Chain A
Amino acid sequence: MVRATLLSLARSGQGLYTQPEQHFAKATPNKGRDFFREVCRLLPWTVNNYKLNELITVKELRSNVHALFRQNSHVTNPGVIDVMIYKGREELEMVSLQHKQRHHLITEYVARPQELKRQLASNPQGSRSKFLESFYSGAAGMSQGV
C-alpha cells in the first residue's frame, strides 16, 4: 500500500522522496521484455525510414534484435538491467530521432547479430576453450605490431 502510493507519487513527479530504482525492478521482473516490445513497435517504421527493406525484413530485424537481447540473458542484477535498459532507450531515441545513420544500423543490427548467430551455431554449447575463442576472433594474445 505504502509502496503503491510512493510509486504513484513518483510517476506524477510529486512527493519528496523516490525510492532507488532497483526496488521497483524487483517488483517488475519483466522490464527487459517490456522494453523489447517497445523496441519492436518501432521496427517497421525503422525499416521503412532507413530504407533497410532492401537488406532485411522486419521479421529478420526483430529476430536480430532478439539475439542481441538474448546475449544479456544471463544478467540478473536488477541495477545492471536498469542501466542497460536506460542505455537501450538512449539508443532507441537516437534511432527514432534519426541521429543514427543508415550504416550505423546496418553494422549494429544487421551484420553483427548475423555474425553472432553464426558463431552460436558453430559453437552451440560454448565447448571451445578460451584459447580457441581468442584464436578464432584473432584478437587476444596475438603479438602487437605497430
Chain B
Amino acid sequence: MLSKLARTASRSRVQQNLLLPSILLPQQPFQSSAVTSQQAAPAEDHIEVKVNGSPVQIPKGSTVMQACDAAGIDIPRFCYHPKLSIAGNCRMCLVEVEKSPKPVASCAMPAAPNMNIKTDTDLVKKAREGVMEFLLINHPLDCPICDQGGECDLQEQSMHFGSDRSRFTEMKRSVHDKNLGPLVKTVMTRCIHCTRCVRFATEVAGVQDLGMVGRGKDSEIGTYIDKLLTSELSGNVIDLCPVGALTSKPAAFTYRNWELKNTETIDVSDAQGTNTRVDSRGVEVMRILPRLNEDVNEEWLSDKGRFQYDGLKQQRLNVPLVKGPDGAFAPKRWPEALEAVAQGLQGIAGNEMRAIAGKLSDAESMVALKDLMNKLGCGNLTSEGGFPDLDADVRSNYVANTTIRGIEGADVILLIGTNPRIEAPVYNARIRKTWLEGTQIGLVGPEYDLTYPYTHLGEGPDALAAMLGGSDFFQKLQEAQHPAVVLGPGILSRPDRDTILQQVHELVEKAGVVKEDWNGYNILHDAASRVAALDLGFLPSARAQSAPKPKFVYLLGSDDYSEEDIPEDAFVVYQGTHGDRGAPRANVILPAAAYVEKEGTFVNFEGRTQRTKAAVPMVGDSREDWRIIRAVSEVVGRPLPYDTTDGVQKRLADVAPHLGKVDAVESPIWLNGEYNKAFAERAAKAAEAFQQPFSSSIKEFFMTDAISRSSQVMARCIQSRKTGHPKSATHPGAFGQDAAAHAAADM
C-alpha cells in the first residue's frame, strides 16, 4: 500500500515536470527515484478531500481525478492517460469544485486539502453534454465501417454522457489522412485532438515525429512533412487512440472486435517476455495487443511483437517431410517420419550427435531434448547464433539482476555493447523513463540513436580499459547510489568474451555496482529461449569439446545456426514451424507448433518465468514441440519418463525449481565476484581483447527469427525504413522485388 502511494506521488511529480516548458530536456538535478522513495509515506503526506460528500484520503500532489478514482467514481476522459503527461485539452473530465466559478478539468487540477468535489450535479452533467456535443460536431458518423467501432471511447462515452439529439446542421470539417508508414492507418477526420499519440511519441518512444499543426478548427495531428513514424513502439499509438483515427493498417477491415476470442499469453519476439493478449477468430490470429504488467512491459508492446503475426500464416510446415534419395522432400505420416529419424540415428555413437536449440524454443522442448540426447549419450547441446560455451554455473552471470522494473531505481546507467532500442524496445522505453527522471546514461559501443541522449565513452574494449583507468563517467558510477551496468548480447558472442567479462567485472567491483540490497549488473538477451536454455543447462558438456565431427544434428527450430555446426554429410532432423533456413538443409522435417498454438514456458532476461497459451489450433498435422521429442524418444527405444504437460513441467521444476514458479522472478545470489576471481587464469589464457568495436547482435530489428522473416508486414517495415518515406511500402510493386531478394538470401 505504502509503496503504491509513493509511486503515484512520484509519477505525478514527473507529470508536473513535463508540464513545464522544459518538457523535452528535463535535466533537473538528480532526484531520488521510485525505488528509493518507496521507503516511507507518512500520514502527513496525505490530505483529505470530499468527493460527493464522502471524505477520501489521498497523497499530497494528487490531482482531482486521482481523488475521484480513489473514491471509486469514474470520471470520463479522453486525453488523460496514466503513463503520459497531462494535457488537459479534451475537457471531458470536467467536475464541479465548490467555490470555483467554473467546472474544472479534473485531470490537470491538483487537489487541495478540504476541497469539495462534486461529480453528479446538473452543472457537471451539462458540462459533459456540452463537451460531447463539441467533440461530435466534427466527428464523422462512420462507426459502422470504423475499425474502432465497438471498443471506441467516444462511442461509449457519447452513449453515457452525450445528449440525445444534435443541434448541428452545418458541414463537418474533413482532414487529409496522413501516411505514417506500413503499420498505423490514419483516418484523421475522426481525430478528436487528445494528443495522446503526440505525447506518447515524444515522451515514451522518444521520437519527435508526431505533432500538432495549425490552430483552432484547422489544427491537425501529423508528421509535419510526409514522413515515417520511425519508432519500434509505434504500434502503441493504436491502443492509445481513444477513437478510430489511428488503427492497425495490416488488420484494417479484417475483424470486428466482438468476434474475437482473447487469449492472455506472452510475446517471444524478443527476450523481454512482454505480456500480450492474442485475439483470434477461428484458426486465425487477428491481432496482438499488450497487456498491462508494470513489472515487465507496463502497457507497451514492440512493433515486431504486435505485427509479425501474419508470418504465422506464411511458409508453415504442416506435414512431416522426409528427403528421398533423389533429394526431394516427400510428405509422410508421423510413424514413417519418426522411423526415418530412427534410421538416421542408427549406428551413430553418442558423441557424434549434436542438438541446436532455436531462438523460439520453449523450456519444455529443451528439457525434453536434453534428456533424450543425454540418454543417447550425447552432451553436445548448443543454442543457435549465440554463445555455446557461456558458463551457466552462476545465474547472476547471465540475467538482468536489477530486474526490468528495478532499472527505474538506477541513478547512473552504463550500457556496454548494446543497442536496447532494437534488442528490447520496451526495455529501452523504461531506460528512457529513468533518463526523464534524471538518470545519467553512458554507452560503450557504436553510437546508436537510443531516443535519449547519453555520454558516448568509446566504441570498443579500449574504451572499457580507459574507463577502468579512471574517467569522469567512472567517477559518476562510483559516486552513484544505485549504479547499473547493462551488457548487450553482442558481447557474449564475441570470441574475446571472457576477457571483456573479466574487465567488466573489475569495473563492477571497483565502482561498487553490486551493494547490499542493490545489484546493478545486467545482461540483456536477444532471444526468448536463451535464459531458459542457460537455466536448464542446455549447454555443451565438458567432453563435447573433444567430440568428433557430428554425423547427426537435431535442429530444434534452429534457423540461425552457423554453417560449420553442421558438417556436409550429417543427417539432419529439423523440428520447427517455418520453411526457413533449417528446413531445406534437413533430411527429416517434423512440423511443430508456433508460440500462439501451444503452452510453453519461457524465461525473460530478468529471469521471470512465464507461459504462453494456445490461442489458435496447430497448423495441419503439426504437434507440440516436447511431444514430438517424446515420440522420437520412444521410436528410438529410449522413452522419456513423462507423457503429459504436467509431467514435463514437473521435470522442468526438478531441473530448475524457479521454472515451476510462473510469473515470478527468482533473484539469483551474487557470486560473480568470487567466481570470476576463481577463473581469472582462464581469462588470462584467453586471447587479448580484440580491438574491433562492440556491436549489437541484431542487424535488422524487423527480421530476427523464422516468424518475423516470413512476415510480409515486417518486410514492408524494412522497405519503408530504407527509403524513410511512408509511401514506398504501400505500393506492392515497390516492395515485392526487395522482399523476394531478401527471401532468396535467407534460403
Contact = CB atoms under 8 A, between A and B. Distances in A.
Interface stretch (A5-13, A36-44, A85-93, A138-146): A138-146
B75 to A, nearest CB: 39
A145 B617 CA distance: 4
A134 to B, nearest CB: 9
Given A142-B618, A143-B599, A146-B261, A129 B623 contact: no
Given A129-B634, A146-B282, A141 B334 contact: no
Interface stretch (B33-41, B190-198, B637-645, B659-667): B637-645
A145 B627 contact: no
A63 to B, nearest CB: 23
A135 B618 CA distance: 13
Contacts of B282: 146
A128 interface: yes
B598 A131 contact: no
Contacts of A138: 334, 621, 623
Interface string B274-285: 000000101100
A17 interface: no
Contacts of A143: 593, 597-599, 614, 618, 624, 645
B334 A135 contact: yes
A75 B335 CA distance: 29
Contacts of A135: 334, 623, 627, 630-631
A142 B624 contact: yes
A129 B593 CA distance: 22
B624 A128 contact: no
Contact of A145 (B618, B639, B643, B645): B618
B403 to A, nearest CB: 30
Given A143-B598, A146-B282, A131 B614 contact: no
The secondary-structure label for the interface of chain B is loop
Nearest to B642: A131
A143 B639 CA distance: 22
B616 interface: yes
B381 interface: no
A122 interface: yes
A4 interface: no
A20 B296 CA distance: 70
Contacts of A122: 335
Contacts of A132: 631, 634-635
A130 B614 CA distance: 23
Contacts of B280: 145-146
A78 to B, nearest CB: 36
B615 interface: yes
The secondary-structure label for the interface of chain A is loop
B140 to A, nearest CB: 35
B283 A131 contact: no
A145 B616 contact: yes
A130 B643 CA distance: 9
B283 A146 contact: yes
Interface string B606-631: 00000000111110010110010011
Contacts of A146: 261, 280, 282-283, 616-617
Interface string B252-270: 0000000001000000000
Nearest to B261: A146
A128 B633 CA distance: 12
Give the interface centre of A131, A143, A144 by most chain B CB atoms within 10 Å.
Answer: A143
Given A143-B614, A146-B283, A146-B616, A129 B624 contact: no
Contact of B335 (A136, A141, A144, A145): A136
A122 B338 CA distance: 13
A123 B547 CA distance: 37
Interface string A96-131: 000000000000000000000000001000001111
Contacts of A130: 643
A141 B624 CA distance: 10
A29 B22 CA distance: 97
B615 A145 contact: yes
A135 B334 CA distance: 9
B641 to A, nearest CB: 11
Contact of B634 (A131, A141, A142, A145): A131
B283 A145 contact: yes
Contacts of A129: 634, 639, 643
Contacts of A128: 634
Nearest to A136: B334
B684 to A, nearest CB: 50
A141 B621 contact: no
Contacts of B598: 143
Contacts of A142: 618, 623-624, 627
Contacts of B634: 128-129, 131-132
27 contacts: A122-B335, A129-B634, A129-B643, A130-B643, A131-B631, A131-B643, A132-B631, A132-B635, A135-B334, A135-B631, A136-B631, A138-B334, A138-B621, A138-B623, A141-B627, A141-B643, A141-B644, A141-B645, A142-B618, A143-B593, A143-B597, A143-B598, A144-B617, A145-B283, A145-B615, A146-B282, A146-B617
Given A143-B618, A145-B614, A145-B618, 18 more contacts: A128-B634, A129-B643, A130-B643, A131-B630, A132-B635, A135-B623, A135-B630, A136-B333, A138-B334, A138-B623, A141-B627, A141-B645, A142-B623, A143-B593, A143-B597, A145-B615, A146-B261, A146-B616
Interface of B: 261, 280, 282-283, 333-335, 593, 597-599, 614-618, 621, 623-624, 627, 630-631, 634-635, 639, 643-645
Interface of A: 122, 128-132, 135-136, 138, 141-146
Q: Which 4 A-B pairs have the closest CB atoms?
A: A145-B617, A131-B643, A143-B614, A145-B616
